[in-house]
Amino acid sequence: MGAYILRRLLYAIPILIGVNLLTFALFFVVNTPDDMARLQLGAKHVTPEAIERWKVEHGYDKPLLLNAEAKGSEQFTDTIFFKHSAAMFVFEFGKGDDGRDIGNEIRTRMGPSLAIALPVLVIGLMVNITFALLMVFFRATYLDLWGVVLCVVLMSISGLFYIIAGQYFIAKLWNLLPISGFAGGIDGFRFILLPVLVSVVAGIGSGARWYRTIFLEEIGRDYVRTARAKGLSEVRVLFRHVLKNGMIPILTGVVVVLPLLFMGSLITESFFGIPGLGSYTIDAIQAQDFAVVRAMVFLGSFLYIIGLILTDISYSWVDPRVRLQ
Amino acid sequence: MSFMPVILWTDALIFALLVVVLALVWFIRRHEHLRAPWKHVAQRPMAMGAALVLGVFVVIGLLDSLHYRERLADSPADAPQYSVEVLSVFDALVSGLRTRQEKTYSAPLAMQLYAKEFIQRDGETVRDHPRLKYGGAHLTHADERGPDITRRTLVGLAQGLAVSLLLFGLLAAWQARRTQVQMGAWLEAWATGALGWPGRTVVLVLTLMLLLAGVLAQLASGYHVFGTDKVGQDVLYISLKSIRTGLVIGTLTTLVTLPLAIGFGIAAGYFRGWIDDVIQYIYTVLNSIPGVLLIAAMILIVQVAIESHPELFDTAAARADIRLLALCLIMGVTSWTGLARLLRGESLKLRTLDYVEAARAFGVSHTRIISRHIFPNVFHLVLIAIVLDFSGLVLAEAVLSYVGVGVDPSMYSWGNMINGARLELAREPVVWWQLGAAFVFMFTLVLAANLFADGVRDAFDPRLGGRR
């Protein structure tokens, strides 16, 4: 087991290097620092001096890969690649355009993101499984048919609609919950409620439908027939056998997104004014803050790769048929 | 010539795609085994109803893809100059909607502006909602509005009903002739659902659409049916124009995805070894970058490129079009990994089958094995992926436009409509019509696409055996 995890970890390194090189190419080679400066300064103030000054301020005034003027190892370290891209491997993200340390921002913003994303995941999972089990229990009846149609209808509604409708009706018209905002501690509960509710409802359509197909696949298996032949009631078959085995694909699907919960959701956070990483990212994209976008790309990939490793481990853990090779 | 045809990049690709689809249809019709699953699709009421709705959207989108520039009236005949505004055949068809522009917001079917202004009335200056220039301009008094709307609705319904009855009669006559039965017998078979195809659903959906079209046409000739937006443009017109954007994103993105997914996926699964390793490495790297961020990063770069080369684009439409194309390319490049992984797995299985081994033993070349044995056997997966992805892409456009990395802000799209209307919700009274129209149109297209995709998937998925 230990050797397996180690090998998986080693496999993650080339992928992270690939991500790093790709972002480096996108942000510095295809799109040179001069272009960035021009975009940031706007059309009016573009003079060669202003561009130079902007590059010095942001530390983009060095050669890309190889600094011929420097001596010894500084030839490689005193470059944009080393200072801005390679440094991300030790989570040195530098500063955003607003002058704040990106690493610091990430640490303080992870909490609020998690406060929304974790309840959404857990409650969403429970709600979706409940609906899916209900549809499976009434399978091949009109209840099941219309349940699926309802799922398709829910899936076809834009996620933005759920948020806007929730904010408008629940918060503005009926004054039940605050429209947006965030607070720490117990006080924050009422702020979290609406975004969580909206996100869960928005996810029901696709979630319940997908879980229904998983359960239906299980229900056609031999062991289910055996369980019924033993004389177990349908409810017992569903909960003791189908649910348990159906949870394997569901949970392993969840594991891969677990680390990504830290990143939060772009849209939800920005609509509800949650000071998490999602709204941080969206602000950076809108302000065209390349340093922050680059840092978030790297962080997101890092978390995704952790998720992949966790998935592999959890597979071998819940399903003994998968051997660690 | 009084106009100059303009072929935007996306137009060319859309019509190329249309040609490919038509060729594919022709090919499938000639092969019984390829036709069989489509027959299953055609027997599903939901799928056929959805296909009709999709068809209407596609026709509007195609009409909206035939672009031209009008000649300026005062330019000399030997050296004609053309307007910088790029119009489409669809614009010409609904020119009334396009040109009747108000000053700013007005509610659906309103005859007064949303905002108050100082206006002259009976010799004194009062602050009130002024009358609209076009919406309800034929009315003299506000009391006439209710009866007029009712009258127009009824006329529209009657017209829609008349057209659908006529079409139904023609259909019945044609079908009765074709199947060589009495008209009465055909009608009876239709009413009892014994036609062998979902005739009732098709007729019902067609009738509903015609009724809706009749009412809309009647009302739109006198009012702004969905109100007007911030600059006074008819929201119905904007919503209809957005159809093309949604369709382009839904289809062209897939067009970009397909060669990448099919090529890489099959190559990885078929050749294994180092090719497999390299391809898997590429898609793991691409997959591990959060999709929105990768799209955002690439769009920011495209934006820089477009802004630093203004000389390449002669009209604003051409510039917006390049950005739309770039968005499709980028979304395609970031979204081929899922299908590629699926195809790789399937090819891995197929290559060990006896007939493939036999072909290899006979010395058949790799390209021939892939094109004759592997590809036809994974094609159903490709098809299912195309129809399933479409609706997701249409929805993604709205989200990306909200993030600020979607289509050009000057382009008509549901995402831009939502984005523009979102902030107006705080106003009193609420400006809801723009948002509502965008959501309704998007919902209709996506729902139709989803229902159709379900039908296709059920018919093609071998595990379901083409029934259920």
Is B30 inside any structural domain? Answer: no
pLDDT tens track for B197-242: 888 888 899 999 999 999 998 888 888 888 888 888 889 999 999 9
Is B29 inside any structural domain? Answer: no
ipTM for the whole complex? 0.84
Is B449 inside any structural domain? Answer: no
Cis amide bond preceding A33, omega within 30: no
pLDDT tens track for B361-377: 998 999 999 988 888 88
CB pairs under 8 A between A and B: 122
Asked if A261 reaches chain B (Cβ–Cβ under 8 Å), the answer is: no
Judgement on whether residues B314 and B387 belong to the same structural domain of the protein: yes
Is B144 inside any structural domain? Answer: yes
> Two tokens at A252?
């392993």
Among B287, B300, B394, most A C-beta atoms within 10 A, so best to mutate, is: B300
Number of domains in chain B: 2
Judgement on whether residues B399 and B436 belong to the same structural domain of the protein: yes
Mean predicted confidence (pLDDT) in A32-59: 72
Asked if A140 reaches chain B (Cβ–Cβ under 8 Å), the answer is: no
Judgement on whether residues B289 and B179 belong to the same structural domain of the protein: no
Question: Are the beta carbons of B454 and A152 separated by less than 8 Å?
Answer: yes
Please list, in sequence order, all residues whose beta carbon lies within 8 angstroms of the beta carbon of residue B426, skipping any fewer than 6 positions away: none
Q: B186 — phi, psi (to 5°)?
A: -65, -45
Say if residue B467's pLDDT is above 50: no
Type of residue numbered A199: S
Judgement on whether residues B171 and B262 belong to the same structural domain of the protein: no
pTM of the full structure = 0.89
Using CB atoms, which residue from B301, B303, B422 is nearest to A30? B301
Judgement on whether residues B360 and B255 belong to the same structural domain of the protein: yes
DSSP string for B42-93: HT-HHHHHHHHHHHHHHHHHHHTT-EEEEEPTTS-SSS--EEEEEEEHHHHH
| Contact list, B303 vs chain A (CB under 8 Å) | 39
Q: B364 — phi, psi (to 5°)?
A: -70, 140
pLDDT of B466: 39
Report the range out of A57-71, B41-55, B70-84 with the highest average pLDDT.
B41-55
pLDDT of B254: 87
Closest Cα in chain B to A13 = B285
Judgement on whether residues B362 and B435 belong to the same structural domain of the protein: yes
What's chain A's average pLDDT?
Answer: 82
Judgement on whether residues B250 and B369 belong to the same structural domain of the protein: yes
Cis amide bond preceding B290, omega within 30: no
Judgement on whether residues B322 and B399 belong to the same structural domain of the protein: yes
Question: Are the beta carbons of B443 and A156 separated by less than 8 Å?
Answer: yes
Using the 3D structure, point to which of B221, B256, B290 is the last residue of a domain: B221
Is B35 inside any structural domain? Answer: no
Q: What is the tally of helices (H) and strands (E) in chain A?
A: 15, 0
pLDDT of A45: 62
CA distance B81 to chain A (A): 30
Closest Cα in chain B to A38 = B304
Please list, in sequence order, all residues whose beta carbon lies within 8 angstroms of the beta carbon of residue A86, skipping any fewer than 6 positions away: A20
CA separation for the pair B108, B223 (Å, rounded):
8
Judgement on whether residues B197 and B257 belong to the same structural domain of the protein: no
Mean predicted confidence (pLDDT) in B413-419: 89
Is B311 inside any structural domain? Answer: yes
Handedness of CA B358, B363, B366, B369 (dihedral sign): negative
pLDDT of B401: 86
pLDDT tens track for A114-142: 888 999 999 999 999 999 999 998 888 89
CATH number at residue B272: 1.10.3720.10
Say if residue B419's pLDDT is above 80: yes
Is B432 inside any structural domain? Answer: yes
Using the 3D structure, point to which of B221, B254, B272 is the last residue of a domain: B221
Judgement on whether residues B205 and B269 belong to the same structural domain of the protein: no
Using the 3D structure, point to which of B154, B189, B221 is the last residue of a domain: B221
Using CB atoms, which residue from B288, B300, B399 is nearest to A15? B288
CA distance A297 to chain B (A): 6
| Contact list, B300 vs chain A (CB under 8 Å) | 31, 39, 285, 288, 290, 293
How does strand B82-88 pair with strand B67-71? Answer: antiparallel
Domain that holds residue B150: 140-221
Judgement on whether residues B395 and B254 belong to the same structural domain of the protein: yes
Judgement on whether residues B279 and B332 belong to the same structural domain of the protein: yes
Is B348 inside any structural domain? Answer: yes
pLDDT of A167: 87
pLDDT of B468: 41
Say if residue B264's pLDDT is above 70: yes
